Amino acid sequence: MSPLPSIYSAHLRGESDLIVVSPGDRFKIEGCRRTDAAKLSLAQCTQILRRTAQASGIPVTVSDPSEPTVAITGGRGDGKGAIVAYCISAGDKTIHVVQGIGYRPRASVAAFADEAHAALLKAAS
Within a domain: 86: yes
> Is 0.95 surpassed by the pTM of this model?
no
Q: Is the pLDDT of residue 6 over 60?
A: no
- Number of separate domains in the chain: 1
Confidence category of residue 16, pLDDT binned at 50, 70, 90: very low
Residue pair 46/62 in contact by the 8 Å Cβ criterion: yes
Within a domain: 74: yes
Within a domain: 13: no
pLDDT value for 18 = 38
CATH number where 111 lies: 3.30.310.80
Measured CA to CA in angstroms, residue 123 lies from 9, 66, 78 at distances of 24, 21, 31
Within a domain: 18: no
Q: Range of 37's domain?
A: 27-124
